[in-house]
Structure formats: structure tokens, C-alpha cells
Amino acid sequence: MAQQEDVFKKLVAHCKEYGFVFPSSEIYDGLGAVYDYGQNGVELKNNIKKYWWDSMVLLHENVVGIDAAIFMHPTTWKASGHVDAFNDPLIDNKDSKKRYRADVLIEDLLAKYDDKIEKEVEKAAKRFGESFDAALYRQTNPRVQEHQAKRDEIHARFVKALNDSDLAELKQIIVDYEVVCPISGTKNWTDVRQFNLMFSTEMGSTADGAMKIYLRPETAQGIFVNYLNVQKTGRMKIPFGIAQIGKAFRNEIVARQFIFRMREFEQMEMQFFVRPGTEMEWFKKWKETRLKWHKALGLGDHKYRFHDHDKLAHYANAATDIEFEMPFGFKEVEGIHSRTDFDLSSHEKYSGKSIKYFDPELNESYTPYVIETSIGVDRTFLSIMAASYTEEQLENGESRVVLKLPAVLAPIKLAVMPLVKKDGLPEKAREIMNSLKFDFKCQYDEKDSIGKRYRRQDAIGTPFCVTVDHDSLTDNTVTIRYRDTMQQERVPVEKLHEIIAQKVSMKELFKKIVE
Ligand code: ATP
């Protein structure tokens, strides 16, 4: 674990050093849980967004996009339930004065029991070798059973407390299982309280006329309030979906994990409207499609898993998360929820406008049910950076830090480098770059030794480096160096476009999603 934390620290430092992510307003010492994306970060982020957007609106003829405003009529948030129920249970440690989410402390406690069980199983696997039957061991080993029983007991109490919104019981679990504050190491806890996560501000200039409005805590409501507009103007037939990418804001209680939990972040959400009664079928389908989207990136299939919710939100009848193995454990990057007709019905009630769909096949009107896929851009960014960050020991005794980003997402697709800064090589390099820059984000670099230049590109994940030398002037060939293998190949200049295009095209990823 300590080693993993170390890797995470290095990753955060790397993000800053190489222009991916900076603390917000850093010259004023930053602002809690708010971050800015730098010159490389913004390219990676835009590529992630394009990958998601096109996977929705290109691959599905019945999914269209919108871009709704961040400010919405305040009644929206009354109707959605956020004013009354968008709360987290918080608890303070009186000694360290640190604030925690009570539910997260208990989830961490459960994860500790899972870890203990896994360690027992791993130890036994080593001891017994090939003949080891892990499933049998889990069922029969007394120590594993003891941990499992404890875990089940805590889990049952936790689920019940969440469902009953029983804050006293949440605290009692923390007390009974002697959860300590990681900072002070003490068990000196306050009571658990509810805390609303929405930011508010005022719209309008006069004190009398000013209206309290909220910064949206999710982008989904912008889709629901536009459901009729899009359905009518786009002549959409159920089933169909509306996709949106945009900023969301939450006054998170605990925000100590870099861009994993931010107060201003970005979501990519798609609401898929279906006939009531068919929602479970669509829920299953979107779960599969979304997992394929993640896996197509090639970061390692074993790094993903589904996690079904212990407590369903007030609007949902099924919900699961796609979790990714971050340096600090498996964590949610995407939520897939079956939201029933909760949102549309509620907006219908609060607005007094009919939000029904006339289904010509059934010859009847109904309020559509909704399947939502909701993924955080920033968490996806973090998962990709974490999986790509590699420290390598090279054969010649040197080491390198390389970001093995999926080539399609890399901020810079290729670097063009003249071997030396004279003899017409810079001009030739510029000429090559000028012919490729319409299709690929290129970077020109002529400073320092070629080795140093390669390292700089490795550190930002550039998949190709093209080196121009004296032979290039006569035979019109260059050396292309591949980031991950460091192999070099001599190729004619006119082949460059084809080689690069094939590796950085999203088409190959999309094919994996639809197959
Ligand atoms: P968590 O339980 O971690 O707070 P959530 O279940 O509240 O997350 P959702 O409301 O389902 O999250 O939001 C959908 C997605 O938006 C999440 O899967 C995540 O990727 C992203 N997201 C939510 N909150 C944040 C945040 N504070 N910072 C960054 N991304 C976030």
C-alpha cells in the first residue's frame, strides 16, 4: 500500500511538472479540490471527451447531443430532489479537526476486511502451490470465515442504516468497530450530520428581486428539462438518448484525492429514454456497451469491475458503478442507473406541463423510463494517467519515465526533430511537420541531445518521434521511433501519414465497442 501511495504522489507531481494538471490559482496557494488543466492535460481531456461523444452520437443513430446552461431555474432542483436530499453524512474527528464522510469510513472498513481475506487466500495459495482450491479454502478456512462473518455483519448494518437514513446508527458502526481517524489515530468522533452538497449563488441585481440559484450538481437535469424540445424538434422515437458533456459542482466534504474528488468537475452523461417495462433490458445493454468503451482503451481488462449499489438513490430501481483500479484501490469512474420515470414525472408535476410520449406502436401515451450512463471526465483522466505512468529500467542502466497513453488519446501525436540544428535539417523537419499538422497534433523540438528529446516526449506520452538526419535530405526517409518499444524504423516520408493515422484513429476502438 505504501508503495502504491508513493506511485500516486509521483503521478500527481508528474501531472504538474509536465503541464497536465495544476492546482487552481496556485500563486495564491491554490483552492481546495479545484484544479486547472495545463497545455498537455487539456489535449488529453479533449481527446477523452471526443472519444466519449463520438461513441455516443456517431455509433448510435438514436442518440443526439445537447449543451445546456449551467444555471437552471431553481425549481429544477426542487423537482429533482437535490434541494431536499442531495446530502452526504459527515462526521468530524474532534482531535484532528478533520472531516470525513461517515459512509466512506465504513466502506473503507469493509475494504479492510476484504483485504484481510485476500491476504489469507494469497498466503495459502503460495503454501499449497498448484493443488490449491481457492474457492474451497474461502468456504472452509476458519480465519477467512471469521473475517467474512464480521464483514457481512458490518455490511448488513451499513445497508440498513443507509436505507433508513439512520445517522445515529452510522456513528454507532464507526464506534462499535473502533474506526480511528487516519490523522490523529483517535476515536473521538462527533455525531453524524447531513450536509447539502449544492453550491448556491444569486441571480439578479436588486436585493428584492434576486433569486437564489444553484450551480448544477449534475448535468442530467439539463437533459430532462429539454426532453420535450429534443424529442419534438428532432422527431425522436423511443428508444432514444440525449448526451451531454459539461461542468458540475459539488461542495464535497472530503476532497483529498487530487482530481478524483473535485468541487468543480466535468461529467459526460447520456439519458436513454425507453418504454416502461423494458428498462432492465436496456440497463443490461448499456452496462455492456459502457464496459466495452472502457476496455477498448487497452489499459487492462482486469482493472475494471462492476459494483452494484448498496443503497439505491431515491430515483433508481437498479444501479451499478464501473470501478477502476486506481493507485488507491478500486474506485467508481462511471455510474449506470435505471432512473425509472422519476425525473420526467417530477418535472411534469412541478412545471404543470405534460411530458408524455405518444407511442404510435402501442397507440398510447406514457412517461418514458430512463437509463442513465454518467461518467466523470476527470476520473477517467486520472484512471488513464494512473494506468499509463510507468518507470522503466533500461538495459543500458538508465531509467525512463514513460506515459504509455493510448495513442489515440495522447496530447501530442508526434514530435518532429532535426538531428542537428544546421545543414538544412530544421527546414526539412519543418516541411514534414507542415504536411502532417492538419491531421495530427505535432510538436517541433530541436533543443538538447536527441536522447533528452526522446525522454521529454516519453514523459508526456507522445507515441511517435520522427527524426530527420542528413540522409533524409537525399533519400527522403526518416527514422520513426516508437514510444513503448523504443524501436526505430527507417521509413519514407510519404509513409508517415499512413503509419500514424492507423495508430491514432478512433475507428479501431469504435469497432471494439460495436462488435
Ligand atoms: P461518489 O460516490 O464517488 O461521490 P457519486 O456516486 O456521487 O460519486 P454520481 O453522482 O453517480 O457520483 O456521478 C457520476 C460520475 O461523476 C461519477 O462516476 C464520477 O466519475 C463523477 N463525479 C462525481 N462526483 C465527482 C467529483 N466530486 N469529482 C470528480 N468527479 C466526480
10-residue stretch averages of pLDDT, the chain, 515 residues long? 79 98 96 97 98 98 98 96 92 94 94 92 88 88 93 94 92 96 95 94 78 96 98 97 98 87 97 97 98 98 92 84 95 96 97 95 96 98 98 91 98 98 97 97 97 97 98 97 97 97 95 91
Ligand 1 centroid, distance to 445 Cα (angstroms) = 39
Q: Which residue lies with its CA nearest to atom 23 of ligand 1?
A: 376
Helix and strand numbers (H, E) in the chain are 18, 23
Helix (H, G, I), strand (E, B) or coil at 283: helix
Q: Which residue lies with its CA nearest to atom 7 of ligand 1?
A: 335
Distance CA 396, CA 390 (A): 17
Grid cell 531509467 is found at 399
Is it true that the peptide bond before 74 is cis, omega within 30 degrees of 0?
Answer: no
Distance CA 462, CA 265 (A): 26
* Nearest-atom index, ligand 1, CA of 255: 27
pTM: 0.89
Whether the CB-CB separation of 370 and 344 falls below 8 Å is answered with yes
Query: What cell numbers appear for 303 in the block?
Result: 482493472
Q: Which amino acid would we find at residue 354?
A: S
Alpha-carbon distances, residue 1 vs 8, 20, 112, 316 (angstroms): 11, 25, 12, 35
Q: What residue spans of 366-421 are helical by DSSP H?
A: 377-388
Ligand 1 centroid, distance to 248 Cα (angstroms) = 10
Q: Which residue lies with its CA nearest to atom 2 of ligand 1?
A: 332
Burial group, residue 84, by CB count within 10 angstroms (0-12, 13-18, 19+):
exposed
* Nearest-atom index, ligand 1, CA of 269: 14
Alpha-carbon distances, residue 463 vs 42, 395, 405, 460, 504 (angstroms): 17, 21, 8, 9, 9
First-last CA distance in the chain? 38
Q: Which residue lies with its CA nearest to atom 14 of ligand 1?
A: 374
Distance CA 35, CA 381 (A): 13
Distance CA 198, CA 69 (A): 16
Distance CA 163, CA 229 (A): 36
Enumerate residues 6+ apart whose C-beta is below 8 A from 332.
Answer: 307, 321, 322, 323, 379
Query: What cell numbers appear for 269 in the block?
Result: 452523461
Whether the CB-CB separation of 53 and 156 falls below 8 Å is answered with no
Whether the CB-CB separation of 219 and 68 falls below 8 Å is answered with yes
513 CB-side CA count, 13 A = 22
* Nearest-atom index, ligand 1, CA of 331: 3
Alpha-carbon distances, residue 296 vs 76, 289, 465, 476, 507 (angstroms): 36, 11, 24, 36, 11
* Nearest-atom index, ligand 1, CA of 377: 20
Q: Could you tell me the sign of the dihedral formed by the alpha carbons of 215, 311, 331, 154, in that order? A: positive
Bridge partners for 201 per DSSP: 213
C-beta atoms surrounding 69 within 10 Å: 8
Query: What cell numbers appear for 377 in the block?
Result: 471526465
Whether the CB-CB separation of 388 and 405 falls below 8 Å is answered with yes
Q: Which residue lies with its CA nearest to atom 12 of ligand 1?
A: 335
Q: What is the pLDDT of residue 410?
A: 98
Q: Which domains does the chain have, with CATH numbers?
A: 41-70+215-385 (3.30.930.10), 90-196 (no CATH), 402-514 (3.40.50.800)
HEC letters along 4-60: HHHHHHHHHHHHHHCCCEEECCHHHCCCCCCEEECHHHHHHHHHHHHHHHHHHHCCC
Q: Which residue lies with its CA nearest to atom 16 of ligand 1?
A: 376
Nearest CA to 287 among 315, 317, 321, 312?
Answer: 321
* Nearest-atom index, ligand 1, CA of 252: 27
Q: Which residue lies with its CA nearest to atom 3 of ligand 1?
A: 332
Ligand 1 centroid, distance to 441 Cα (angstroms) = 31
Tallying the residues shown for the chain, one arrives at: 515
* Nearest-atom index, ligand 1, CA of 321: 18
Distance CA 467, CA 457 (A): 13
The residue whose CB lies within 8 Å of the most ligand 1 atoms, and thus the one to mutate among 265, 287, 321, is: 265
C-beta atoms surrounding 347 within 10 Å: 22
- Which residues have C-beta atoms less than 6 Å from ligand 1? 218, 250, 252, 261-262, 265, 267, 332-335, 374-376, 378-379
Q: Beta strand pairing status for 240-249 and 99-101? A: unpaired
* Nearest-atom index, ligand 1, CA of 261: 28
Q: Which residue lies with its CA nearest to atom 26 of ligand 1?
A: 261
* Nearest-atom index, ligand 1, CA of 374: 14
Whether the CB-CB separation of 416 and 444 falls below 8 Å is answered with yes
Angle 501-504-510 from CA coordinates, rounded to 5°? 110
Distance CA 369, CA 355 (A): 12
Query: What cell numbers appear for 463 in the block?
Result: 507515441
Ligand 1 centroid, distance to 420 Cα (angstroms) = 49
Bridge partners for 365 per DSSP: 358
Ligand 1 centroid, distance to 250 Cα (angstroms) = 9
Q: What is the pLDDT of residue 206?
A: 66
